[in-house]
Amino acid sequence: MNIKFLLITFVFIFIISCSLPPVNVAQATGTPIPAVTPTDTAPPPLPTPELGDAENPLILALAPSSNTQAQIDAAKVIAAQFTERTGYAVVTVIPDSYTALVDALEKGNAHIVLLDAFSYELAYQKELVQAVFAVVKDGKATYGAQFIASRKGGFKSYFDPLTQTNTAEASVALAQFADKKPCWSDEISPSGYVIPLGYLNQNQIQTRPAAFVQGHPTVVRSVYAGGICDFGATYIDARKFPSLEDQYPDLMEQVIVVWQVPEIIPYSVFAFSTVMPQSMRDLFTNIVPALMQTTDGKAAFEAAYDIEELLSVNDAYFAEFHEYVDEARLELSTLVK
């Protein structure tokens, strides 16, 4: 047979077969094809345990400075009492820093916390916590600050020491600090830097570059000595620091309080994570005062957190603090240590 003829015939058959529709075997034979059943299917995911279950407990965080066995044991007493009174599982942790504590809140690894002023502010701005109690010290839940200056510098006081009140608005009293050099305590001091800076900024008072002199008593010394700065800010009343009164007998006369910042700075804030349902937060909010009314509970809070008294608050209680931290225009995360 002619080889050329065979080759042409083969190509023709191949083309015809490629153009034909696919054969339905079931239709062709009348025999149904069994369905293919996977034999390696993944098991259904396990349900996530509810917050407060033993497998997903609430986490009570101690302050980062907690490093004694007495503090750890006291926190365990508080956790056990929470569990007994609420039925929710509660465990304890000790974060390495307030930065780590805020991070834990963000990751859902902390739920009941005691925060210092700036870690509370950072967590609040991130909507991670709800303030429920303010720590009370010496009968107060917040404290203020004061602007000081040397009488020799020609500054005028707008503060009446007899009535302990300001005699003018901040805009009037602080205007005299325009283009003057401040002494601040340190970069993370609420009363010695951040909040006073917030007041200056809100009132659009531009100053010269500041000197950070490391410590409130050092601010007072610097203002008294002159030549370092024109004015400063401290807690109330840093002028009465014992060594200062001994060193400078006329200090109270020469270093004047120009204006006092109202008591808006929290000592510490006891807060609950916003991950906790509101009903759960309400339950624990009611449990804390009841627990502190017991001898063991009060002793545990004092040992674990150095808390002797709490004031019931909400985030709005610290509205002015929120405002002036914002006005300071600083990177908040750098203030949390």
User: pLDDT, tens digit, for every residue of 137-176?
Assistant: 999 999 999 999 999 999 999 999 999 999 999 999 999 9
Residue 311 belongs to some domain of the structure: yes
On whether both 253 and 298 belong to a single domain, the answer is no
Helices (H), ranges, 45-186: 69-86, 98-107, 117-125, 170-173
Do residue 134 and residue 271 come from a single domain?
Answer: yes
Asked if residue 21 belongs to a domain, the reply is no
DSSP 159-199: EETTTTEESS-HHHHGGGGTT--EEES-TT-IIIIIHHHHH
pLDDT digits over 298-333, tens only?
999 999 999 999 999 999 999 999 999 999 999 999
Predicted confidence at residue 195, as pLDDT, reads: 98
3-state SS, residue 322: helix
Instruction: Verify that 114 and 152 share a domain, yes or no.
Output: no
**pTM of the predicted model, to two decimals?**
0.85
Of the candidates 266, 282, 316, which is a domain's last residue?
A: 266
How sure is the predictor about 42, in pLDDT bands with cuts at 50, 70 and 90?
low
What is the structure's pLDDT at 12?
42
**Domain boundary residue among 248, 266, 284?**
266
98 and 239 in a single domain? The answer is no
Give the per-residue pLDDT at 44. Answer: 67
Length of the chain: 337
Q: Flag whether 35 is in a domain.
A: no
pLDDT tier, 34 (very low <50, low <70, confident <90, very high otherwise): very low
Asked whether residue 126 falls in the same domain as residue 149, the answer is no
Distance CA 102, CA 88 (A): 23
Same domain? 296 vs 257? no
pLDDT of 48 reads: 83
Flag whether pLDDT at 222 surpasses 50: yes
Average pLDDT score, the chain: 90
Range of the domain at 147: 142-266
Residue-wise pLDDT tens digits, 205-217: 999 999 999 999 9
What is the tens place of the pLDDT at every residue in 75-103? 999 999 999 999 999 999 999 999 999 99
Span 5-33, average pLDDT: 42
Q: Is the pLDDT of residue 201 over 50?
A: yes
Between the CA of residue 145 and those of 154, 179, 195, 198, 256, what are the distances in Å? 21, 21, 8, 12, 13
**133 shares a domain with 175:** no
Of the two residues 243 and 285, the one the predictor is more confident about is 285
- CA dihedral over 273, 278, 284, 285, signed as positive or negative: positive
* Residue 236 within any structural domain of the chain: yes
Domain-embedded: residue 309:
yes
Q: What is the CATH number of the domain that holds 186?
A: 3.40.190.10
* Token representation of residue 262: 């109202």
**Residue 9 pLDDT grade (very low, low, confident, very high; cuts 50, 70, 90):** very low
Per-residue confidence (pLDDT) for residue 47, from 0 to 100:
76
Choose one of 266, 297, 319: the last residue of a domain: 266
For the cut 90, the answer to whether the pLDDT of residue 105 exceeds it is yes
Shared-domain flag, residues 74 and 220 = no
Are the C-beta atoms of residues 128 and 281 closer than 8 Å to each other?
no
Is residue 39 assigned to a domain?
no
Statement: residue 66 has pLDDT above 50: yes
Note whether 323 and 254 are same-domain residues. Answer: no
Instruction: Based on the fold, state whether residues 100 and 62 are members of the same structural domain.
Output: yes
Domain count, the chain: 2
Judgement on whether residues 274 and 131 belong to the same structural domain of the protein: yes
**Do 205 and 185 share a structural domain?**
yes
What's the pLDDT tens digit per position in 108-125? Answer: 999 999 999 999 999 999
Beta strand 165-166 with 159-160 is: antiparallel
Distance CA 92, CA 305 (A): 13
Residue 10 lies in a domain: no
Residue 16 within any structural domain of the chain: no
